[in-house]
Amino acid sequence: MHKKNYLFFICLIFILLLTVCKSNKDNIPTVDELVRIPDSVRGNELEPISGKTAFDYFRDERIFSGWNLGNSLDSYSDGLGGETTWGNASINQEIMNGVKAAGFDIIRIPVTWMGHIGNAPSHRVAAYRLKRVAEVAEMAHNAGLKVIINIHHDGSTPSQGRDDGWLSISKAYKNARENERITLQFARVWEQIAVYFQNYGDWLMFEAMNEIHDGGWAYSTEFKMFPNQQLDVLNKWNQTFLDRVRLTGGNNPNRYLIIPAYCTNPQQTLASSFVLPNDRVSGKLIVTFHYYDPHEFGIEGRRTAWGTPADRQKVDSDFAPFKARFIDNNIPVIIGECGAVLQLYPNDAARQAQARQSRFDYIPHVFATAKKYGLVPIYWDNGSIRGNGEKFGLFDRRTGQPNSADSTTLITMMINAVR
């Protein structure tokens, strides 16, 4: 071989190797390599979209309040996401119609995908799981609701050292190889969800993940000592989510995407360490946080009295900064979960009456204060009204009707608070 040709050949090989290494630096296959599962519910017709910013869309569509279809598609057991696993009925059109008729505008449909995801490197998501999520989203759309779907208990970490799901920030921040492995799976799962729903209109929104933390709910010793390690991982996961969705075509380059901070904690969402991902389009991002404060009343059910001037002022003080940081910059904010548990004291009528009245005071006040600052509250309903667990249920999942007179009252108070 001529010396010049030989040198040219060597250079060409070197350039090709650099290109391959660069394109696979994260070991994330390109979208074109995906196994594309056709949407068997809606079909392949591209729905028209508004082209509006998320802020204008929420305003023009009058999205003021929402409701969570909790403990249904997000339920799981032994690493397998289900639907009726935690005792709720199979999802039907009646519950969607009932939620819309009650006055809610948007529904958050939490989804646990684990147990329906194949092995690396493709991490193929089962077609039947995608289809069921599509069926449920379509029911909500048919009722006239806007819809949010997410990755939910795939990131469940009930306590330090215990990961129920695969999306483990504890493993990721401690080990670069684990981070690479988990990020790959996260990217592949979102690619496949996005491809499946690529033709759906802008009534369907994607939320990256739910309450990601190391088991300490943003209060662990490790997080307090070295917060930036975990926060860096979370910010990069949010960027991965956005990048992979945007590349999948259809309406996804312009889809509204919901971005959580660490643990969806309000204070973490306001912290300077929480960085919104870089987007190739402007005005399409939505910020989310969860609110059950004070925890001993809102979610733990250990406190029966709420409603002092100081209690009310705290909600105001907690919500006001979101207006200055996000709303005034035309970035919508949803309170992706909020509410207060039903407390029952069958042997203590006075205590139960106090807890009941406090709940009537608290929930509408949270909704009204959210409205005051331009936030959209989404009530957490897990379908439960009895037993020893958290009791957030307001609707009968079979009929779509409120499950009690008190629930009817609370629903009416919530809706009136944001109108």
> Does residue 42 surpass a pLDDT of 80?
no
Residue of 83, 94, 337, 390 marked active site? 337
Q: Residue 367: its pLDDT value, please?
A: 98
Q: Residue 156: its pLDDT value, please?
A: 93
Ordered by start, the domain boundaries in the chain are: 53-418
Nearest 5 degrees, angle CA 162-CA 168-CA 171?
85
Rounded Cα distance, 401 and 136, in Å: 18
Q: At what angle do helices 309-325 and 349-372 cross, to 10 degrees?
A: 30
Q: Residue 38: its pLDDT value, please?
A: 60
- 337 belongs to the catalytic site: yes
- 211 belongs to the catalytic site: yes
The predicted-structure confidence for 82-121, as pLDDT tens digits, reads as follows 999 999 999 999 999 999 999 999 999 999 999 999 999 9
The confidence band for 177, taking pLDDT boundaries of 50, 70 and 90, is: very high
Tell me the three state secondary structure of residue 190.
helix
Averaged pLDDT for residues 405-415:
98
The predicted-structure confidence for 309-368, as pLDDT tens digits, reads as follows 999 999 999 999 999 999 999 999 999 999 999 999 999 999 999 999 999 999 999 999
Averaged pLDDT for residues 193-205:
97
Q: Residue 292: its pLDDT value, please?
A: 98
Residue of 191, 211, 300, 390 marked active site? 211
Q: Residue 299: its pLDDT value, please?
A: 97
The predicted-structure confidence for 259-277, as pLDDT tens digits, reads as follows 999 999 999 999 999 999 9
Class of domain 53-418: alpha beta
> Does residue 22 surpass a pLDDT of 50?
no
Contacts of 65 (CB under 8 A, 6+ apart): 103, 104, 105, 106, 367, 376, 377, 378, 379, 414, 415, 418
Mean pLDDT, the chain, rounded, equals 92
Q: Most distant CA pair in the chain: distance in Å? A: 98
Q: Residue 40: its pLDDT value, please?
A: 67
Are 269 and 289 spatial neighbours (Cβ–Cβ below 8 Å)? Answer: yes
Q: Residue 190: its pLDDT value, please?
A: 98
> Does residue 2 surpass a pLDDT of 90?
no
The confidence band for 41, taking pLDDT boundaries of 50, 70 and 90, is: confident
- Beta strands 80-81 and 76-77 are antiparallel
> Does residue 28 surpass a pLDDT of 50?
no
Q: Residue 362: its pLDDT value, please?
A: 98
Q: Among 200, 228, 375, which Cα is nearest to 287's? A: 375
